[in-house]
């Protein structure tokens, strides 16, 4: 019988979890369960349990293309750590570059973390606006196209949980009523894109489309944010078509084929 107090067992698990996280470094951004087991010299069952816990907390994530693990979103804001989750989307860089070249506006790829949208990376245009978007920054979901384009496609349970929040009004156009937000997300699902003119900042509009992975789940979004002085309503159709085309191409890279 193990007479060690529970606190000692918990501490041991924490130490081993930290050992796993330290394995990931430049040149070793992704590891399989077998590789992690060998490197930390623990039983495979123990290693798998620790990995599962780290994934649940967002400190590790699984690359659906390789079934290997890499550092996850929860590390983004811890001491400014730059992590290899971006590698999943690096193949999409030429698509994002082309989108910026064609539209002349700054583009982003974003993901959700809890009830916020996280900017995974940003490609600036030649004359970038002074936007509060940079890698690792978190913004509200309810007033950003990039956040709504992901949340609208989540399971109903997650949407219901999201709508229980209190939503802050940033401009007179910000949607803060849960019913209005639910209706807006229903429209987004039907149209296949989100658009938020003046919802977060007056004088700016965001247009975003969802990115699917091989499990047919929406895991990210690709977006363009521009000033309304440059991106007028008559230009919306062009931007929507280009952004939706880019999101489809990136989704295919992640193994999603409509």
- Mean pLDDT confidence for 31-45: 91
| Domain parsing of the chain, residue ranges | 6-85, 91-253
Name the pLDDT band for 115 (thresholds 50, 70, 90): confident
- Decide if pLDDT at 244 tops 60: yes
CA 132 to CA 146: how far, in whole Å?
A: 13
Q: What is the pLDDT of residues 140-187, one digit of tens each?
A: 999 999 999 999 999 999 999 999 999 999 999 999 999 999 999 999
Q: Following DSSP, what letter does each residue of 180-232 receive, concatenated?
A: HHHHHHHHHHHHT-EEEETSSSTTEEEEEEEEE-TTS-EEEEEEEEEETTTS-
CATH 3.90.1170.50 for domain 6-85, yes or no, is no
Closest by Cα among 176, 173, 150 to 163: 176
On whether the CB atoms of residues 146 and 132 are closer than 8 A, the answer is no
Write out the CATH class of domain 91-253.
alpha beta
Lowest-confidence pick of 33-42, 64-73, 114-123, 214-223: 64-73
pLDDT at 8: 58
Chain mean pLDDT for the chain:
84
- How many helices (H) and strands (E) would you count in the chain? 9, 8
Pairing mode of beta strands 69-71, 106-113:
unpaired
Is the model's pTM score more than 0.85?
A: no
């Amino acid at each position: 019988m193990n007479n060690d107090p529970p606190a000692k067992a918990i501490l041991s698990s924490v130490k081993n979890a930290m050992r796993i996280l330290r394995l990931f470094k430049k040149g070793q951004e992704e590891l399989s369960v077998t590789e992690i087991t060998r490197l930390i010299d623990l039983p495979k069952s123990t290693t798998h349990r620790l990995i599962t816990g780290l994934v649940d907390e967002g400190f590790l994530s699984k690359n659906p293309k390789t079934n290997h693990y890499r550092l996850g979103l929860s590390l983004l804001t811890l001491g400014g750590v730059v992590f290899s989750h971006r590698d999943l989307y690096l193949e999409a860089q030429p698509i994002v570059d082309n989108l910026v070249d064609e539209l002349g506006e700054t583009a982003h790829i974003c993901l959700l973390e809890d009830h916020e949208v996280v900017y995974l990376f940003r490609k600036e245009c030649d004359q970038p606006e002074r936007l509060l978007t940079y890698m690792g920054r978190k913004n509200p979901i309810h007033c950003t196209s990039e956040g709504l384009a992901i949340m609208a496609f989540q399971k109903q349970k997650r949407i219901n949980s999201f709508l229980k929040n209190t939503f802050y009004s940033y401009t007179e156009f910000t949607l803060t009523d849960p019913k209005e937000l639910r209706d807006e997300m229903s429209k987004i699902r039907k149209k296949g894109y989100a658009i938020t003119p003046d919802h977060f900042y007056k004088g700016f509009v965001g247009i975003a489309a969802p990115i699917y992975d091989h499990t047919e789940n929406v895991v990210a979004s690709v977006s363009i944010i521009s000033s309304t002085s440059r991106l007028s309503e008559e230009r919306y159709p062009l931007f929507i078509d280009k952004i939706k085309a880019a999101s489809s191409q990136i989704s295919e890279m992640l193994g999603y084929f409509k």
